[in-house]
Structure 1
Amino acid sequence: MTTPTRRALITGGGTGIGAATARLLADRGWLVAVTGRRPGPLRQVADEIGGVAIPADLSAAESAQAAVDAAAEHLGGLDTLIANAGGHGFATAEETSPEDWEASMGANVGTAFHTARAALCHLRRSRGSIVMVSSLAGLRAGPGVVGYTTGKHAVIGLTRALARDHGKEGIRVNAICPGWTRTPMADEEMDQLCDAVAELPDRESAYAHVTRHVPLGRPAEADEVAQAIAFLAGPESACLTGATLVTDGGAHIVDVPTLAFDALT
Structure 2
Amino acid sequence: MSRSVLITGAGSGIGEACALRLAAQGWQVALVGRRREALERVAQATGGLVLAGDAADSATWRGFIEQVDARFGGLDAVIACAGGHGLGRATETSDEAWQAALRSNLDSAFHTARACLALLMRRRGSLVLLGSIASLAAGPEVCGYTTAKHALVGLNRSLARDYGPAGVRVNCVCPGWVRTPMADEEMQVLMTHHQEDLDAAYRRVTAEVPLRRPASSDEIAAVCEFLVSPAASIVTGAVLTADGGATVVDVPTLPYTRLAPQP
TM-score (ref. length: structure 2): 0.96
What RMSD in Å do the two structures reach over aligned CA positions? Answer: 1.0
1:247 aligns with 2:247: no
Q: Please name the residue that 2:11 is paired with.
A: 14
Give yes or no for the alignment of 1:222 onto 2:217: yes
Quote the offset at 1:243 in angstroms.
Answer: 0.2
> Which one of 28, 31, 39 corresponds to residue 31 of structure 1?
28
Residues 95 and 68 (structure 1 numbering): CA distance in 2 closer, same or farther, change over 3 Å?
farther
- Structure 1 CA distance for aligned equivalents of residues 133 and 63 of structure 2: 30
Which of 49, 56, 60 in structure 2 is aligned with 1:59? 56
Q: Which residue of 1 aligns with 2:97?
A: 100
Report 1:1-265 matches (<5 A). Answer: 4-198=1-195, 201-265=196-260
Worse-matched range after superposition: 229-238 or 160-169 = 229-238
Deviations 1:24-48 (A, max 9, x none): 0000010011101111111100111
Residues of 1 paired with 2:134 and 2:47: CA distance?
33
The CA distance in 1 between the partners of 2:204 and 2:72, in whole Å, is: 43
C-alpha distance after superposition, 1:149-186 (max 9, x if no partner): 11111111100000000100000000000000010111
Residues paired across the two proteins, number = 260
Residue 71 (structure 1) shift: 2.4
Question: Cα distance, 1:221 vs. partner?
Answer: 0.6
| Residues 64, 111 of structure 1: 8 Å contact kept | no
Q: 1:74 deviation in Å?
A: 2.2
Shift in alpha-carbon separation, 1:69–1:193, aligned structure 2, 3 A: farther
In 1, distance between residues paired with 2:126 and 2:52?
Answer: 22
Q: 1:100: how far off?
A: 1.4
Q: What is the distance in 1 between the residues matched to 2:119 and 2:240? A: 25
- Tell me the TM-score normalized by structure 1: 0.96
Q: Any idea what SS the aligned residue of 1:111 has? A: helix
**Paired amino acid for 2:239:** T
Percent of pairs identical after alignment?
50
Task: Say if 1:94 and 1:68 are closer, same or farther in 2 by CA, change over 3 A.
Answer: farther
Distance 1:83 1:68 in 2: 15
Secondary structure at the residue paired with 2:14? helix
Structure 1 unmatched runs, 5+: none
Q: What displacement does 1:96 show?
A: 1.2
Displacement of 1:7: 0.3
Q: Secondary structure at the match of 1:94?
A: helix
SS class of match (2:139): coil
Q: Distance in 1 between matches of 2:58 and 2:48?
A: 24
Q: Distance in 1 between the 2:92 and 2:109 partners?
A: 25
